[in-house]
């Protein structure tokens, strides 16, 4: 008789099911390890050292820093599970940090956390888990993996809308989703902290990470300036007709849709319309000039079998992580890795380099990076 599936979906006892848990040192991944260890799974904790351990040792509230590695090691000891620290610093620099700096140099507004999930955690770490003979890789993300038609896994928003992290996981492929597990997807944060207290974990009241791990205090410009000194060259602030209105000290200090901190007074509020990195120009204008009803996506990842219908599909889309999803129709692009979104109502401040993440209700269908408008892409502008 085939045994009933265990809580992770495998037809064998938990004790015969090996699970690698990606342990960042925070409360979420620590509770995942605790839950699985309590159920009797063969749990192995892995923490990635993603950037300089010595420089990071004093920084709290950022994943994969020195203190967090120390915390993850202590949690593993408390739970009685093996724990390994893997040096992924060079991979992280090449796959995430360098592109982050280059994207800002091109006048975009990048999201390195998505690239980290795509190129490090769900690629390199996932392969390491396979090499260790694990049946799956579990993380502390607040998303839900739900079996849909035919028993194929789907990715859905986390049950707690305040914690949902699906936007940052849109690059997850169908093959990766087969292997991944998200035990916290149906929980909210207070419940997770209570579980951590019950497990006797010192990280139960540890603050959530607020910054990008390699960007101290959210000062993106300083990090980019250190990596690419030419990025802080001064330039002009101009209106849409090219009239010079003022000066700036680096295009990396601006993002499309920005209103505060421009430093130009006028009869009406001015917003950043686009960034021309080649000319070192910040183009500003009234809010109405930001209106977009069409958005192109590049590097498309689509989770639904069959692809996007040629006649289009009605969806909702998030154009920034902190903004609510809006109604749209998605159409296939001119190449398999592109798509076009026709927004039902115009949106303002759609920024190249951010992600357009597409949903059907709570189900994540896929998404892509927001591309520059055709007119800007065909010129030197980096709007």
Return d(Cα 71, Cα 24) in angstroms, integer: 8
Active site residue 136: no
Residue 173 — φ and ψ, nearest 5°?
Answer: -90, 170
Considering the candidates 63, 113, 136, 213, report the single residue annotated as catalytic: 213
Please, are residues 52 and 76 in contact by the beta-carbon 8 Å criterion? no
Residue 186 — φ and ψ, nearest 5°?
Answer: -95, 10
Please, are residues 301 and 173 in contact by the beta-carbon 8 Å criterion? yes
DSSP-assigned letter for residue 244: E
Return d(Cα 219, Cα 225) in angstroms, integer: 10
Please, are residues 314 and 360 in contact by the beta-carbon 8 Å criterion? no
Dihedral through CA 212, CA 215, CA 221, CA 222, nearest 10?
A: 180
Give the number of other CB atoms < 10 A from CB of residue 264: 14
Return d(Cα 326, Cα 359) in angstroms, integer: 10
DSSP-assigned letter for residue 280: T
Give Cα separations from 140 to 162, 218, 333, 371 (angstroms): 15, 23, 34, 30
Four-residue CA torsion sign, 366, 369, 373, 377: negative
What value, to the nearest 5°, has the Cα angle with vertex 202 and ends 200 and 207? 130
Active site residue 116: yes
Beta strands (DSSP E) in 205-310 are 235-239, 244-248, 271-276, 281-285, 292-302
Q: Which residues have CB under 8 Å from 131's CB, separation 6+? A: none
Return d(Cα 56, Cα 89) in angstroms, integer: 12
Tokens of 367: 């998404």
Beta strands (DSSP E) in 75-121 are 83-87
Considering the candidates 63, 64, 116, 136, report the single residue annotated as catalytic: 116
Write out the catalytic residue numbers: 116, 213
């Amino acid at each position: 008789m085939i045994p009933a599936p265990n809580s992770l979906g495998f037809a064998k006892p938990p004790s015969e099911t090996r699970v690698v848990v990606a342990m960042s040192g925070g409360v979420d991944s620590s509770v995942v390890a605790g839950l699985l260890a309590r159920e009797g799974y063969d749990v192995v904790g892995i923490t990635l050292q993603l950037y300089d351990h010595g420089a990071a040792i004093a920084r709290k509230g950022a994943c994969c820093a020195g203190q967090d590695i120390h915390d993850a090691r202590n949690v593993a000891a408390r739970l009685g599970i093996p724990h390994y620290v893997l040096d992924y610093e060079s991979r992280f620099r090449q796959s995430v940090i360098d592109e982050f700096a280059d994207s800002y140099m091109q006048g975009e507004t990048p999201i390195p956390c998505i690239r980290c999930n795509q190129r490090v955690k769900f690629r390199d770490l996932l392969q390491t888990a396979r090499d260790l003979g694990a049946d799956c890789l579990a993380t502390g993300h607040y998303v839900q993996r739900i079996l849909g038609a035919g028993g194929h896994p789907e990715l859905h928003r986390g049950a707690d809308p305040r914690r949902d992290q699906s936007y940052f996981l849109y690059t997850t492929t169908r093959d990766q989703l087969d292997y991944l597990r998200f035990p916290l997807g149906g929980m909210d944060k207070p419940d997770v902290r209570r579980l951590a207290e019950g497990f006797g974990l010192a990280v139960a009241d540890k603050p959530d990470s607020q910054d990008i791990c390699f960007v101290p205090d959210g000062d993106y410009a300083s990090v980019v300036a250190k990596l690419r000194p030419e990025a802080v060259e001064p330039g002009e602030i101009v209106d849409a007709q090219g009239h010079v209105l003022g000066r700036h000290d680096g295009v990396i200090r601006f993002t499309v849709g920005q209103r505060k901190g421009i430093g130009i007074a006028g009869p009406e509020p001015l917003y950043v319309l686009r960034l021309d990195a080649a000319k070192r120009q910040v183009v500003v204008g009234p809010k109405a000039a930001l209106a977009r009803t069409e958005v192109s996506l590049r590097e498309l990842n689509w989770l639904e079998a069959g692809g996007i219908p040629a006649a289009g599909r009605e969806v909702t889309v998030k154009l920034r992580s902190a903004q609510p999803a809006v109604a749209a129709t998605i159409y296939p692009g001119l190449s398999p890795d592109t798509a076009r979104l026709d927004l039902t109502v115009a949106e303002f401040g759609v920024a190249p380099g951010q992600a357009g993440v597409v949903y059907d209700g709570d189900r994540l269908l896929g998404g892509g990076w927001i591309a520059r408008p055709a007119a800007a892409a065909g010129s030197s502008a980096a709007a």
